[in-house]
Amino acid sequence: MTSLGEVDPDVAEIIRAENRRQHQKIRLIPSENYASRAVLEATGSVLTNKYSEGYARERYYEGQQQIDRLEELCAQRARDLFGAEHVNVQPYSGSPANQAVYVALGRPGDTVMGLSLAHGGHLTHGAAVSVSGLHYEAVQYGVDEATGRLDYDRIAALAEKHRPKLLWCGATAHPRIIDFERFGQIGREVGAVVVADIAHIAGLVAAGLHPSPVPHVDVVTTTTHKSLRGPRGGMVMCREKFAKAIDAAIFPGLQGGPHNHTTAAIAVALKEAATPDFRAYAARIVENAQALASHLRDRGFDLVSGGTDNHLLLIDLRSKGVSGYQMAKALDAAGIVCNYNLIPDDPRSARRPSGIRIGTPAVTSRGFGIEEMALLGNWMARVAQARADEGLELAGRKQRYAGVASEVRDLCDQFPAPGLIPEA
Ligand SMILES: *Cc1c(COP(=O)(O)O)cnc(C)c1O
């Protein structure tokens, strides 16, 4: 960081402070992680200097000797890891990867179907505020109110009724296994192209901890920076028959030059994800999530669907007398970082919902295990209690949060996170 510190002390200071925050806090946002030093090094490389519109051996500028090798290596690793026929590694992120599917395989005005945002789906699966809902006729399915789980018979009936061109499956806030095989079946029955978005669970899928959609659906999209633990980026995997359309949708349909530094870092992350160490890591993510779920249930927290099969938990805080917004702010003050989140059929608004969403990919990367999950459950209960205590003045509450934050910092000091620069 010497040169950055000399050229731009302001930005250098911000990065140092963020490094410290990522060290001292328990990061439970389920879409976040700690990328390795190797991934960060590739991201910060001279590859950022190169333009390479097009695809290997069909570029529009010269000087692609290294870039062609790099992109082919990255795509080969992705095909091997996920068993996909074709992979495009150029999408700038998860949302552009999904947009590419709409551009490749749909036309504005087509009927599309996806899990609603309010029930754990992603914006890009047909939410009214996103291009996917604005430019397409979006039909949204939800989870069963009583169980918090997907009801596949209901989804099949809805698909039969609306005959969507694209049927999206996958989620951003759903704690249970998704039956991609069943989605594939439903798609075949109604003549829909089935797209599985595994942005959150890509690391679990790569490690065999969540059933893979690749054999069952037509197209699979993902981010690379969540449980897969790579740089911020996206990929589209598909059957060979869709390869041309997907590639053309990404370039020249939506994007210009690919971010080659990101491609390099994705290649590194894919190599890491193919190791036995990574498979063990993914198994610990799930073990930790289940341990945390059990500690939270013991302390009276309501979990949507009652628990988790994957890396994340959705907590319904209504029984605790605090809103998701209040709890998220209180936890942050206590050194525990999550996001407030809608719960299915939330009586409150998206800005002030009833729940929070937490996940274990980042804490598992820094080595937290079952014992640390017990501490975490205890701290979360203390914070909820302090926030809900009507008898406490603001100062008293803040003191309780600070007490937890200090214990959190002590624990974090024992678990240096991958990728971070050690504090001097
Ligand atoms: C995170 C996420 C995305 C979008 O990824 P960005 O990189 O933030 O654009 C898409 N789909 C799902 C299911 C996600 O969870």
Bridge partners (DSSP) of residue 358 are 313
> Which residue from 125, 197, 254 has its CB within 8 A of the most atoms of ligand 1, so it is best to mutate?
197
Q: Cα separation of 118 and 140, whole Å?
A: 10
- Neighbour count for residue 351 (Cβ, 10 Å): 8
The closest alpha carbon to 121, from 103, 102, 91, 94, belongs to: 94
Architecture of domain 41-273: 3-Layer(aba) Sandwich (3.40)
269 within 8 A of 228, measured Cβ to Cβ? yes
189 within 8 A of 156, measured Cβ to Cβ? yes
Tokens read off for 153: 């018979």
Catalytic residue, from 59, 232, 318, 329: name it: 232
Question: Which helix (H) or strand (E) segment is 220 a member of?
Answer: strand 219-223
30 within 8 A of 358, measured Cβ to Cβ? yes
> 354 by DSSP, 3-state: which?
coil
Q: Is the fold of 41-273 the same as that of 284-413?
A: no
> Which residue from 102, 201, 223 has its CB within 8 A of the most atoms of ligand 1, so it is best to mutate?
223
Q: Cα separation of 364 and 66, whole Å?
A: 35
Does residue 76 line the site of ligand 1, with CB under 6 A? no
- Give yes or no: 172 in active site: no
- Give yes or no: 6 in active site: no
Question: Which helix (H) or strand (E) segment is 137 a member of?
Answer: strand 137-141
* Alpha carbon 254 to chain centroid, angstroms: 22
- The letter for the amino acid at 228 is L
92 within 8 A of 259, measured Cβ to Cβ? yes
47 within 8 A of 201, measured Cβ to Cβ? no
Residue 424, pLDDT score: 53
Low-confidence ranges of the chain (pLDDT < 50): none
* Alpha carbon 231 to chain centroid, angstroms: 12
Residue 422, pLDDT score: 86
pLDDT tens-place string over residues 82-136: 999 999 999 999 999 999 999 999 999 999 999 999 999 999 999 999 999 999 9
Output the residue whose Cα is nearest ligand 1's atom 4. 94
β-pairing, 137-141 vs 166-169, is unpaired
Tokens read off for 107: 């036309």
- Give yes or no: 232 in active site: yes
- DSSP letters spanning 41-90: HHHTSGGGG----EETTEESSS--HHHHHHHHHHHHHHHHHHT-SEEE--
Tokens read off for 113: 């179907």
- The letter for the amino acid at 386 is A
Domain limits, the chain: 41-273, 284-413
- How would you classify residue 133: left for phi > 0, otherwise alpha for psi between -120 and 50, otherwise beta? alpha
- Give yes or no: 124 in active site: no
Bridge partners (DSSP) of residue 423 are none
Q: Cα separation of 318 and 313, whole Å?
A: 15
CA of 199 to the centre of ligand 1 (A): 6
| CATH number of the 284-413 domain | 3.90.1150.10
